[in-house]
């Protein structure tokens, strides 16, 4: 029998059946918008792009999946700024780091808005999902509070949590190497839950807490997909009374339920802070007396919950790419392990104090993030005012997409860009290094964390989690391709992906994980 909660969730995501009159209404509304758009005289030339069809422009030319490949192909053909007409909605795709920096960074005051997500942002999350929030007072409050709790120095308070969870992950990999992907997902979810709420380590990735928040994130992402809800096409439907709009009634009910869940998690933190006996966490930063951020109780609860939900999946996805790349590149794995053995030795697990002494390991992490970002297109921005760039006119309301995958593969700045080469971040090869240090990467060496005022607010926390997990895994185990009955290696297909709407990760693959020493498990202590 179907779980009622799942049935309710599915019904929420399912677009209401449209009546004949509704289809007519859509047609009339669409026609009105198109006529208005095509009758509007542009002030200047729009960036070049593929020729579309009348009325619908390029709307039917985009593939349903792996869109970043098509954008990269078009970028090579039409240039660094690609212009598209999505059924009357102007869109530009930015295909180089220079263009992104010029617009998203240097003109961030007018490039920091989001498109309107009525169902995903306004109804399901009450406008408090910081990633989808429009550029305004609510977003500023949420962003400032998140930054104060996650900036470079603040994130150091979470080192003990991350070191403990990395050690547990290593022990799980040694105990049950076949289930490596599940162990990674559990470990990162547990890390984020402890960082945000100072809870106990989660036993499995199917923990009810994780399942609830993952379900929320899935609902929101699905609701943001084009065409999922009619209200995105006909915005005035937002004001229909609840009794006339089942989708709206169910969405508001979900928002109330999720708000109570998040407030419950944060209340536990408040109780601990009130006693004076608590460990530093993002939640305690939000609720600590005398440290107000101007957030309402709902805003505090949603900010903490979304930091947990969004951070868990993206970091676990990046570790999935790491495992694939290590299996495919044993020479890079061996070189990193040799560096770890020189610096750390074999008597203890690595820790954050070793970080600055492990330049090649850090280069491996940067190259993993560059080689395949888990969010190849990021989230779209919306231009708030008319703008001109390189002789092109960009009208107010233009949707602006950063092709992060293509930018990370730009051969001008990343020679031999399809190859996995940590050396490009390592001073042994000056030709590979000099371009990766391009100033507009904000010191990251890649563009995977986004641009401008919308750059990933949790990137310091993510970098820390990636370092301690990757260095601990490399210290403890070897990751290799399996060998078939014919004695040949079974090479995972690096071109097969899973895109679940939140992150892009490699398709599940088999690898052989073996301890580097027979007694490595004994050195982990009584975890």
Residues flagged as binding site for heme? 456
Q: d(Cα 366, Cα 355) in Å, to the nearest integer?
A: 13
Q: Which residues are annotated as a binding site?
A: 456
* Cα 122 to Cα 247: distance, rounded to the nearest angstrom: 13
User: Helices 459-476 and 297-328, interaxial angle, to 10°?
Assistant: 40
Helix intervals (H) in 154-296: 159-175, 180-197, 208-223, 246-275, 282-287
Q: For residues 300 and 360, give the distance between their C-alpha atoms in angstroms, rounded to a whole number.
A: 39
Q: Using an 8 Å Cβ cutoff, are 324 and 181 in contact? A: no
456 backbone φψ class: left, alpha, beta (φ>0; ψ -120 to 50): beta
CA pair distance 30, 59, nearest whole angstrom: 13
Question: What's the CA gap between 229 and 248, in Å, rounded?
Answer: 10
| Token pair in block for residue 481 | 């391709």
Q: Running DSSP on this structure, what letter comes out for residue 415? A: T
User: In Å, how far from its chain's centre is CA 249?
Assistant: 29
User: Closest by alpha carbon to 393, among 81, 33, 34?
Assistant: 81
Tokens at 233, concatenated: 């096409």
**H/E/C letters for each residue in 27-73?**
HHHHHHHHHHHHHCCCCCCCCCCCCCECCCECCCCCCCCCHHHHHHH
The Cα-based distances of 244 to 25, 26, 247, 344, 411 in angstroms read 16, 17, 9, 65, 54
DSSP code per residue over 420-450: --GGGGSTT-HHHHHHHT-GGGTTSSS-TT-
92 bridge partner residues: 83, 400
The C-alpha atoms of residue 368 and residue 359 are separated, in whole angstroms, by 14
Residue 83: φ, ψ to 5°: -105, 130
Q: What is the 3-state secondary structure (H, E, C) of 460-526?
A: HHHHHHHHHHHHHHHHHEEEECCECCCCCECCCCCCCEEECCCCEEECCCCCEEEECCCCCCHHHCC
Q: Sign of the CA dihedral 408, 409, 410, 416? A: positive
């Amino acid at each position: 029998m179907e779980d009622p909660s799942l049935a309710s969730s599915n019904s929420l995501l399912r677009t209401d059946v449209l009546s004949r009159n509704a289809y007519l209404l859509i047609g009339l509304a669409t026609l009105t918008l198109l006529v208005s758009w095509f009758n509007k005289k542009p002030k200047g030339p729009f960036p070049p792009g593929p020729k579309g069809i009348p009325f619908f422009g390029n709307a039917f030319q985009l593939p349903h999946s792996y869109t970043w490949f098509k954008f990269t192909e078009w970028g090579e053909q039409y240039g660094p700024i690609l212009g598209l007409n999505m059924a009357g909605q102007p869109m530009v795709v930015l295909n180089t780091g220079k263009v992104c920096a010029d617009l998203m960074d240097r003109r961030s005051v007018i490039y920091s808005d989001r498109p309107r997500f009525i169902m995903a942002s306004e109804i399901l999350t009450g406008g408090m999902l910081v990633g989808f929030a429009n550029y305004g007072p609510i977003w500023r409050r949420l962003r400032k509070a998140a930054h104060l709790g996650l900036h470079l120095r603040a994130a150091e308070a979470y080192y003990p949590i991350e070191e403990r969870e990395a050690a547990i992950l290593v022990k799980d990999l040694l105990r049950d190497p076949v289930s490596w992907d599940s162990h990674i997902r559990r470990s990162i979810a547990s890390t984020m839950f402890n960082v945000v709420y100072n809870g106990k380590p989660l036993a499995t990735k199917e923990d009810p807490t994780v399942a609830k928040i993952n379900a929320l994130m899935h609902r929101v992402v699905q609701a943001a997909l084009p065409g999922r809800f009619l209200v995105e096409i006909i915005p005035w439907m937002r004001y229909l009374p609840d009794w006339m709009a089942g989708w709206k009634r169910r969405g508001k009910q979900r928002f109330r339920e999720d708000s109570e869940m998040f407030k419950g998690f944060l209340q536990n933190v408040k109780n601990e802070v009130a006693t004076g006996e608590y460990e530093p966490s993002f939640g305690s930063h939000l609720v600590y007396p005398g440290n107000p951020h101007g957030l309402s109780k709902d805003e505090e609860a949603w900010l903490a919950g979304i930091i947990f939900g969004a951070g868990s999946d993206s970091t676990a996805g990046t570790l999935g790419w790491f495992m694939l790349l290590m299996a495919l590149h044993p020479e890079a794995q061996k070189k990193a392990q040799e560096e770890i053995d020189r610096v750390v030795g074999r008597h203890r697990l690595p820790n954050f104090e070793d970080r600055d002494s492990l330049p090649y390991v850090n280069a491996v992490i940067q190259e993993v993030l560059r080689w395949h970002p888990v969010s190849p297109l990021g989230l779209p921005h919306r231009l708030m005012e008319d703008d001109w760039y390189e002789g092109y006119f960009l009208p107010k309301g233009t949707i602006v997409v950063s092709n992060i995958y293509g930018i990370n593969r730009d051969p001008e700045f990343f020679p031999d860009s399809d190859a996995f080469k940590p050396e490009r971040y390592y001073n042994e090869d000056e030709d590979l290094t000099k371009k990766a240090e391009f100033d507009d990467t904000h010191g990251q060496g890649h563009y995977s964390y986004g641009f401008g005022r919308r750059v990933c607010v949790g990137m310091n926390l993510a970098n820390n989690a990636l370092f301690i997990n990757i260095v601990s895994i490399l210290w403890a185990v070897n990751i290799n391709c399996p060998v078939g009955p014919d004695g040949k290696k079974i090479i995972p297909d690096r071109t097969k992906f899973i895109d679940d709407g939140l992150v892009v990760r490699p398709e599940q693959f088999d690898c052989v994980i073996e301890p580097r020493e027979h007694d490595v498990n004994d050195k982990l202590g009584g975890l």
